[in-house]
Structure 1
Amino acid sequence: MVSKFRSEWSTVLSHLVLAAVSLHAASSRGAAAGFLLQTFAAITMLAPGLSTHEDCLAGAWVATVIGLPLLAFDFHWVNGDRSSANLLLGGGMVLAVAGDHLGPEGCSVAGQAVLLVVAVTILIVAVFTANTYGMWGGAMLGVAGLLSRLEVDRLLLLPKEDVCRWALAAGSWAYCRALHTQRLQWE
Structure 2
Amino acid sequence: MADKPEEWSTQLSYLVLGIVSLHSAVHTTRVNRGAAAGFLLQALAAAAALVSGPQPDTNNQMATWVATVIGLPLLAFDFHWVNGDCSTANLLLGAGMVLAIAGDFLDTETQAVAGQAVALVAAVTILIVSVFTVNTYGVGGGMALGAASLMSRLEEETLLFFQKEDACRWALALGSWAYRWALHTQHLELD
Query: What is the match of residue 152 of structure 1?
Result: 156
Query: What is the match of residue 36 of structure 1?
Result: 40
Cα distance in 2, alignment partners of residues 7 and 52 from structure 1: 14
For 1:59, the aligned partner's letter is A
CA contact (8 A) 1:51 1:57 kept: no
Query: What is the match of residue 164 of structure 1?
Result: 168
Map 1:132-147 → 2, pairs under 5 A: 132-147=136-151
For 2:6, the aligned partner's letter is S
Unpaired runs of 5+ residues, structure 1, are: none
Q: Tell me the SS of whatever aligns to 1:150.
A: coil
Map 1:171-186 → 2, pairs under 5 A: 171-186=175-190
The TM-score normalised by the length of structure 2 is 0.94
Unpaired runs of 5+ residues, structure 2, are: none
CA contact (8 A) 2:14 2:50 kept: yes
Question: For each residue in 1:111-137, what CA deviation from the matched residue of structure 2 results, as whole angstroms up to 9, or x when unmatched?
Answer: 000010000000000000000000000
Q: Tell me the SS of whatever aligns to 1:46.
A: helix
Deviation beyond 6 Å, 4+ runs, structure 1 = none
Q: Tell me the SS of whatever aligns to 2:56.
A: coil
1:120 to 109, 116, 124: 124
The count of aligned residue pairs is 186
Cα distance in 1, alignment partners of residues 15 and 56 from structure 2: 18
Deviation at 1:9, TM superposition (A): 1.2
My pick for the range that moved more, 24-33 or 133-142, is 24-33
Q: Tell me the SS of whatever aligns to 1:45.
A: helix
| Cα-Cα RMSD | 1.2
Deviation at 1:102, TM superposition (A): 1.7
Deviation at 1:52, TM superposition (A): 2.6
Q: Tell me the SS of whatever aligns to 1:152.
A: coil
Cα distance in 1, alignment partners of residues 65 and 140 from structure 2: 24
My pick for the range that moved more, 48-57 or 100-109, is 48-57
Counterpart check, 1:55 vs 2:54:
no
Identity of aligned residues (%): 65
Deviation at 1:75, TM superposition (A): 1.3
Cα distance in 2, alignment partners of residues 50 and 64 from structure 1: 20
